[in-house]
Amino acid sequence: MLKPSPSLTHVALIALITLAVSGCNKERSYPVYRENPAPKDALPIVIRVHDAPVELTLPKVFVSYEIDPLCLPPISNYEGVQYAPQRHSVEFPVQRVSATEFSSTVFEDGMAVADYYGRGPCEWKPSIIRASFPVISEGREGFISVAVHHLELKKLLTSISYADSQMTLQTKSSTPGWVRTQSQYSYNRLSDIEKQKYFAIEISSPSKGIVP
């Protein structure tokens, strides 16, 4: 007896699944984003640590930049997702001023404007400024990370975060753990007793300059 032919709906469904799987397995490649080799728009920052239980080591300072989404390639995948990288972080040098104070100069134009996708020059804007202190707690490596949005720092000039004085790492795996931190808003909502369990880390911008 002859077997019935599969319906057109069944055939279309199989074809669609095959296309989706092949699309998921297809390797994606994107251009390498470049840092600006001669940035000019400088933003000096100062990081101060208040009443830490130990002297913190030199932090790493990063700025995360966001690319103009209009210059990214059109979304053409089945998932409807933009896979092209939309952010890039740049690390900037840090100097120790004292046992509790550090300084750095970050740049608002830290990324190179270029035609990465053949759709015209891609502009960048700074997003998050982050300071990450390496720590050793309970015999394990970890970090204290505090951050502020670039626009917030320019407007308020100072941002304060609060880190757990016990420096308890929030992961038990072999990877570096992180120390719990609180934003100013979250810290203000704590009881006076809970507030005593944290120490302050301040990021401020005393001035804005232009590199000659």
DSSP string for residues in the chain: -PPPPPPHHHHHHHHHHHHHHHHHHS----PPP-B-SS--EEEEEEEEEES-SS---PPEEEEEEEE-GGGSPPP-STT----S--EEEEEE-EEE-SSSEEEEEEETT-B--B-SSSSSPBPEEEEEEEEEEEEEETTEEEEEEEEEEHHHHHHHSEEEEEEETT--BS--SSSPEEB-EE-HHHHHTS-HHHHTTEEEEEEE----EE--
Q: Give every CB contact of residue 79 below 8 A, 6+ residues apart in sequence.
A: 23, 24
What pLDDT sits at residue 60? Answer: 98
What pLDDT sits at residue 75? Answer: 86
Question: What tens digit of pLDDT does each residue of 9-65 get?
Answer: 554 444 444 444 444 445 778 899 999 999 999 999 999 999 999 999 999 999 999
What pLDDT sits at residue 183? Answer: 95
Q: pTM for this structure? A: 0.81
What pLDDT sits at residue 174? Answer: 63
CA distance 208 to 97: 19
What pLDDT sits at residue 10? Answer: 53
Beta-strand pair 41-50/209-210? antiparallel
| Mean pLDDT by groups of 10 residues along the chain of 212 residues | 50 46 61 96 96 96 96 86 92 97 97 95 97 91 95 92 94 80 96 97 75 39
